[in-house]
């Protein structure tokens, strides 16, 4: 028995920050940002947190699936930007949506987070430990961005996406791969703002997102195609069998580069970078929800999801819609 995604939902804050808005605070321009990243605007949380955004995305996913919160067995939440250390964001979402019978835990795998909770959710179902698992990716990276650093502040946005994974005897075509390389962890970091005891280090540059963009770019262009090929080999499928490749929305140039290395056209690599920027663990489920609600996902289609992020971590999965 494996799980099938039977419902999706997403939520982004109302406030947007355009490239022209950013040009007023850092040395950049709309043309410069679009050319290098594909981003035009990003949504920024003012009052919302990963919990409120994750809860709303979850409500929409459950409604889309036709499932009551009381029927959820497990909530798995991918986030690296919770506004509290504990309780876990997953438990807070459980409270907000009334999933009174569900367990809840958080997973920190940065931009690879949604792939992580998808794999764990499938493991719960295959082990017979759950029938219905709520998967969430939610981030509020705007609170971790140095708004004076144009190399990072132009990239990130806030939002949440969710999917309902339910045991289904008819579900087929599932494989996942996940890898880490802590030796390269230095290329993408964000230190704790209380790493020195109780001292508030919120002004320390190391407590904002820091990234070696060139190293991360090279890493993504190497490891993402490798992960896609690896997961397809496990299922004895070829790229011709795949209807959609849903990649982490980090940078349109990375997505284009991955498509090129797989010798595929961009028509099977949908992107919403222009509207949302990089929402980290939320990027894949937000894209998945848009694909679902627009009708582009059709029953029986085979889909690959692949992501990469801090850790360094990367992975891919293939499933049948």
Return the active site residues: 111, 248, 278
Phi, psi of 22, rounded to the nearest 5 degrees: -65, -30
Q: Is 245 left (phi over 0), alpha (psi -120 to 50) or beta?
A: beta
Q: Which residues pair with 307 in a beta bridge?
A: 315
User: Rounded distance, CA 141 to CA 129, Å?
Assistant: 33
Given a contact cutoff of 8 angstroms between Cβ atoms, the answer to whether 173 and 303 are in contact is no
Residue 43: strand, helix, or coil: strand
User: Rounded distance, CA 244 to CA 242, Å?
Assistant: 6
Q: How would you label 206-225 residue by residue, b for 16+ Cβ within 10 Å and e otherwise?
A: ebbbbbeeeebbebbbebbb
Q: Which residues contact 286 (CB under 8 A, 6 or more apart)?
A: 10, 12, 137, 159, 160, 161, 249, 272, 276, 279
User: Rounded distance, CA 281 to CA 163, Å?
Assistant: 13
User: Rounded distance, CA 167 to CA 299, Å?
Assistant: 16
Strands of 175-180's sheet, edge to edge? 175-180, 313-320, 302-309, 244-247
């Amino acid at each position: 028995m494996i799980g099938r995604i039977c419902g999706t939902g997403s939520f982004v804050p109302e406030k947007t920050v355009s490239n022209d808005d950013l040009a007023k605070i850092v040395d950049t321009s709309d043309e410069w940002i679009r050319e290098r990243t594909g981003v035009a605007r990003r949504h920024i949380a003012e009052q919302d947190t990963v919990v409120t955004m994750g809860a709303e995305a979850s409500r929409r996913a459950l409604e889309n699936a036709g499932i009551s919160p009381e029927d959820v067995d497990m909530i798995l939440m991918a986030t690296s930007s919770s506004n509290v250390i504990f309780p876990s964001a997953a438990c807070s979402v459980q409270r907000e949506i009334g999933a009174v019978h569900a367990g809840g835990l958080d997973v920190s795998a940065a931009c690879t987070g949604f792939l992580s909770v998808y794999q764990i959710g499938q493991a719960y179902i295959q082990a017979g430990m759950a029938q219905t698992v709520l998967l969430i990716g939610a981030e509020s990276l705007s609170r971790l961005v140095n708004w004076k650093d144009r190399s990072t502040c132009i990239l990130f946005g806030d939002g949440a996406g969710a999917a309902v994974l339910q045991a289904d005897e008819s579900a087929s075509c599932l494989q996942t791969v996940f890898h880490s390389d802590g030796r390269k962890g230095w290329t993408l970091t964000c230190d704790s703002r209380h790493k020195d005891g109780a001292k508030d280090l919120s002004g320390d540059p190391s407590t904002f997102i820091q990234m070696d963009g060139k190293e991360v770019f090279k890493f993504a262009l190497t490891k993402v195609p490798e992960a896609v090929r690896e997961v397809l080999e496990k299922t004895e499928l070829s790229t011709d069998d795949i209807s959609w490749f849903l990649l982490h929305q980090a940078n349109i140039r990375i997505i284009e580069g991955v498509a090129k290395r797989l010798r595929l056209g961009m028509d099977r690599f949908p992107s919403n970078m222009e509207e949302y920027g990089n929402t980290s663990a939320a990027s894949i489920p937000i894209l998945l929800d848009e694909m679902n609600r627009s009708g582009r996902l059709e029953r029986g289609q085979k889909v690959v999801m692949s992501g990469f992020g801090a850790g360094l971590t990367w992975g891919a999965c293939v499933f049948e819609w």
